Amino acid sequence: MLLSQILLPTLLGASSTWALAPSGPWDAFNFAPTSKTLYATTIRHVEPTVSGSENLLSSTGSATLGGQGAWVTLDFGKEVGGLISMNFDAVNLTSSISLAFTESPMFINPLLSDDSSFPIATMNYDTVLSVPAPLSTGHWTQPAFALRGGFRFLTIATTSDEPVTISNVSVAISFMPHVEDMTAYTGYFYAQDSDFMDPDFLTKLWYAGAYTVQTDTVAINTGRQVPFEPQGFWANNATLGVCFDEASPCPIIVDGAKRDRAVWPGDMGIAVPTQFVSTFDLTPTRNALFTMFTHINPETGALPESGPPLSQLGSDTYHCWTLIGSYNYYLFSGDDEWLSTIWPNFTLAMSYIEGRVDSSGLADIIGLRDWGRLGQGGHNAEANAILYKLLLTASSLASFANDSSLSSAWAANATALKTVFNDVFWMEDVGLYRDNSSTTLTPQDANSFALLYNLTLNDTQKQRISEGLERNWVDLGPVPPELPDTISPFISGFELQAHFEAGNDTRAFDLLHREWGYILYTNLSVESTLVEGLTANGSLYYRYYDGYNDDAAYTSHAHGWSSGPTSALTFYVAGLTVTSPQGQNWALAPHIGGPMNSAQGGFTTGLGWFGVIWELLDGTSGGISLNVTTPEGTQGVFTLPQGISGTVKVNGSVLDVEGGSVPLSGGALNIVVS
Ligand SMILES: *[C@@H]1O[C@H](CO)[C@@H](O)[C@H](O)[C@H]1NC(C)=O
Ligand SMILES: *[C@@H]1O[C@H](CO)[C@@H](O)[C@H](O)[C@H]1NC(C)=O
Ligand SMILES: *[C@@H]1O[C@H](CO)[C@@H](O)[C@H](O)[C@H]1NC(C)=O
Ligand SMILES: *[C@@H]1O[C@H](CO)[C@@H](O)[C@H](O)[C@H]1NC(C)=O
Ligand SMILES: *[C@@H]1O[C@H](CO)[C@@H](O)[C@H](O)[C@H]1NC(C)=O
Ligand SMILES: *[C@@H]1O[C@H](CO)[C@@H](O)[C@H](O)[C@H]1NC(C)=O
Ligand SMILES: *[C@@H]1O[C@H](CO)[C@@H](O)[C@H](O)[C@H]1NC(C)=O
Ligand SMILES: *[C@@H]1O[C@H](CO)[C@@H](O)[C@H](O)[C@H]1NC(C)=O
Ligand SMILES: *[C@@H]1O[C@H](CO)[C@@H](O)[C@H](O)[C@H]1NC(C)=O
Ligand SMILES: *[C@@H]1O[C@H](CO)[C@@H](O)[C@H](O)[C@H]1NC(C)=O
Ligand SMILES: *[C@@H]1O[C@H](CO)[C@@H](O)[C@H](O)[C@H]1NC(C)=O
Ligand SMILES: *[C@@H]1O[C@H](CO)[C@@H](O)[C@H](O)[C@H]1NC(C)=O
């Protein structure tokens, strides 16, 4: 397969070329804009006192808003973000207008935007951007501080009795400030879903996740202002951290496009793998993690829960996520310069969390803040499952940092933690782990993490957890017992991977259909990027009783933490993943139990292109054929998919299968199992 090449901003300052994904029918699902200047695609609403509104769909022709009560809502067709410009063609002395923004169509209103500064039950915190009289004729651009980072609908209203004639209304895209061609993906995914109303669902979802993370990749000086602006205002001109190098514009990855617009390391546990498989745009991640380390508490070694200006403190789980995220970043990039820079603070942060482990052998959690769940604290199972994953990844990272004694100490502590974890939390009669030793509550988060991170002792335990997790499901997916009346696509992103790990592909696809099938297609959403959460019945009142103050308009519709399916489709369904830095070692283990007969996908690392196309031959009974391309000089392991057995031929030669797998070398391989 011939791949085009492109020069992208590089990781280490030296210029290198990344392979772009091959083109094909999947390109039609790429949401990334082809231009940095966008015009609306349709008129969503227009009052009779507005004339010529259709002219606002291009740069030419004008529309007149005829005084008080005249308003028009432009639809950009998908989530966008950036500064609005327009031309004032005819104005009067007292003419004035206002701009209102919203992601969801639910909150289209000439007097109100959806909320981003603060949540209130009246849902009228942000209100509008007023453009007061006197207006001057000519080109006008929204002031930079008033940037809206995420919206789909723009409502322009006159706020005076005098008419206003406008033209050339566009948005200058503000996300991905360091990348010229936002569509130039280094990865792709494609499969047809025979079990959903839209056969392109999986492909569309993969691209929606990728685009969500792009909309969360922002210039470092465009964060939400803290302390929050007073009611009636918003400001997105705060500094979000520090740049690892002097690159300009300096990009950083945040939680959401509209809000919070701050670095949240837990969110990155999902968003960064998405970024890796789609754009390989890791510079914003490097800056975000670097920022977290520079804000370490030098006395205790505790890391903040979020980046500045929020600089939220007091989360032991998010502390761990910064450290796990460091492993992920290194795994994907192999960036030694960055690793040696952060290493002293990494080890200091490890001593903080290891210091929380008491005589019970479990960490006693005192930083109670988390992804929103209730009941955090003490010997909590979720936090200890994350700590287990941290010890394993820290052990690997220590060996890459050439510190073999720390590497073995952390590995030994991981082993010890796994034993205690099972002794204290496993409920054999229920087939699930409990939240802590004084409850029988069986959380979605701890059980998903424990399965995914292999805290389990045998495969039966994995299958029982997978089955037990399904008992939390309603029509739209899992309702976490630890955060009732909620759907959390963040935690469900881990649960999704857990079902694949348990070997139940049917259940994994059922979850995809229920939860993301709703999220992507419901007309409450932006139908392009992914919402941060919902209530159990699918409303936007996410966390209404837990910090979001009954404000459905505050919910973000472009949260990278909801993009779990993107990396899961690549890693589990296409089945290709990296197991050592940059993919020097890789694994090929497609999950073929979904509603398709073939799937394909791939990604790029500093070593080159990794791609796979597989096809079932005459149903599973006929075997499988796979074409795999990985860089020369790499090594891989092919694990035979569940239900497939027989002779394995690689480029025509029969190879031995041991324990269900076959070692492979990089290059172009045709594998047939029949
Ligand atoms: C407002 O301005 C327009 C064009 O600039 C003009 O035709 C119209 O007479 C003005 N209206 C008033 C009330 O001044
Ligand atoms: C969503 O679709 C339903 C059913 O077609 C319709 O009643 C409702 O008005 C739509 N909502 C929005 C915000 O478009
Ligand atoms: C952000 O914009 C507001 C409103 O113009 C201004 O008061 C504030 O000083 C700006 N903050 C920064 C960090 O530039
Ligand atoms: C229309 O707006 C674009 C984007 O701001 C600008 O580049 C262009 O100059 C404007 N056209 C006119 C005729 O003012
Ligand atoms: C390490 O932590 C110190 C505070 O103890 C901080 O001043 C420094 O910037 C941090 N260095 C890195 C590379 O994160
Ligand atoms: C144990 O878990 C339950 C259920 O999540 C919670 O209500 C309780 O506060 C937890 N106990 C401690 C000590 O945190
Ligand atoms: C670890 O040692 C190897 C071999 O000397 C070196 O290439 C690598 O850069 C070192 N890693 C770090 C993070 O310094
Ligand atoms: C391993 O665990 C023991 C017991 O909790 C602790 O004393 C030790 O510091 C841990 N080792 C490291 C390297 O964190
Ligand atoms: C998972 O844990 C089991 C039981 O402790 C162990 O045998 C197995 O090797 C582990 N799997 C991986 C991938 O580490
Ligand atoms: C699997 O591990 C669980 C937890 O230790 C144990 O209760 C169960 O008996 C084991 N099952 C098998 C089949 O080994
Ligand atoms: C997989 O999950 C489905 C429910 O989605 C269940 O009916 C089936 O028994 C499970 N299969 C296995 C092997 O556990
Ligand atoms: C793999 O490549 C061979 C040779 O180009 C082709 O005949 C076959 O159809 C390919 N298989 C798949 C699954 O694409």
Residue 124 reports pLDDT greater than 70: yes
Domain residue ranges in the chain: 3-30+575-673, 37-173
Amino acid 618: pLDDT: 81
Torsion of CA 89, 95, 98, 99, to 10 degrees: 0
The average pLDDT across 240-269 equals: 96
Q: What is the 3-state secondary structure (H, E, C) of 8-27?
A: CCCCCCCCCEEECCCCCHHH
The average pLDDT across 106-117 equals: 98
Model confidence pLDDT, tens digit, residues 155-195? 999 999 999 999 999 999 999 999 999 999 999 999 999 99
Q: Are 632 and 667 in contact (CB under 8 A)?
A: yes
Model confidence pLDDT, tens digit, residues 193-214? 999 999 999 999 999 999 999 9
Question: Of the candidates 24, 7, 469, which has an alpha carbon nearest to the alpha carbon of residue 203?
Answer: 24
Give the ligand 9 atom nearest the CA of 418. 5
Question: Of the candidates 333, 325, 281, which has an alpha carbon nearest to the alpha carbon of residue 583?
Answer: 333
Q: What is the CA 520 to chain-centroid distance, rounded?
A: 14
Which among 346, 347, 357, 420 is the best mutation to test ligand 8's pocket, defined by most ligand atoms within 8 Å of the CB? 357
Tokens of 388: 């287990």
Distance from C-alpha of 518 to C-alpha of 548, rounded to nearest angstrom: 22
Q: Is the CB of 672 under 6 A from ligand 12?
A: no
Residue 8 reports pLDDT greater than 80: no
Question: CB burial class (10 A; 0-12, 13-18, 19+) of residue 409?
Answer: middle
Residue 24 CA, ligand 12 centroid: distance in Å = 16
Give the ligand 1 atom nearest the CA of 163. 1
Amino acid 621: pLDDT: 72
Residue 466 CA, ligand 11 centroid: distance in Å = 9
If one compares 290 and 19, the residue with the highest pLDDT of the two is 290
Mean pLDDT of the chain: 96
Amino acid 247: pLDDT: 82
Amino acid 248: pLDDT: 84
Residue 401 CA, ligand 7 centroid: distance in Å = 6
Are β-strands 217-219 and 251-253 bridged in parallel, bridged antiparallel, or unpaired? antiparallel
Share of the chain above pLDDT 90, in %: 96
Model confidence pLDDT, tens digit, residues 331-388? 999 999 999 999 999 999 999 999 999 999 999 999 999 999 999 999 999 999 999 9
Model confidence pLDDT, tens digit, residues 277-317? 999 999 999 999 999 999 999 999 999 999 999 999 999 99
Q: Is the CB of 463 under 6 A from ligand 11?
A: yes
User: Confidence class of residue 461 from pLDDT cuts 50, 70 and 90?
Assistant: very high
Could you give the 3-state DSSP secondary structure of residue 314?
coil
User: Tokens 């690549």 correspond to what residue?
Assistant: 570
Residue 170 CA, ligand 4 centroid: distance in Å = 8
Tokens of 146: 């008033």
- pTM of the entire structure? 0.97
Tokens of 54: 């259709």
Note the CATH number of domain 37-173.
2.60.120.260
Model confidence pLDDT, tens digit, residues 640-661? 999 999 999 999 999 999 999 9
Q: Are 134 and 60 in contact (CB under 8 A)?
A: no
Q: Is the CB of 170 under 6 A from ligand 4?
A: yes
Nearest CA, atom 13, ligand 6: 378
The average pLDDT across 97-114 equals: 98
Same fold, 3-30+575-673 and 37-173: no
Q: Is the CB of 538 under 6 A from ligand 2?
A: no
Amino acid 16: pLDDT: 45
Q: Is the CB of 507 under 6 A from ligand 11?
A: yes
| Closest ligand to the CA of 347 | 8
Note the CATH number of domain 3-30+575-673.
2.60.420.10
Residue 2 reports pLDDT greater than 60: no
Residue 149 CA, ligand 4 centroid: distance in Å = 21
Give the ligand 2 atom nearest the CA of 524. 13
Question: Of the candidates 159, 185, 161, 152, which has an alpha carbon nearest to the alpha carbon of residue 77?
Answer: 152
Number of H helices, E strands in the chain: 13, 29
Amino acid 619: pLDDT: 63
Residue 237 CA, ligand 3 centroid: distance in Å = 6
Residue 650 CA, ligand 8 centroid: distance in Å = 46
Nearest CA, atom 3, ligand 7: 402
The average pLDDT across 35-49 equals: 98
Nearest CA, atom 4, ligand 10: 457
Amino acid 7: pLDDT: 32
| Closest ligand to the CA of 296 | 5
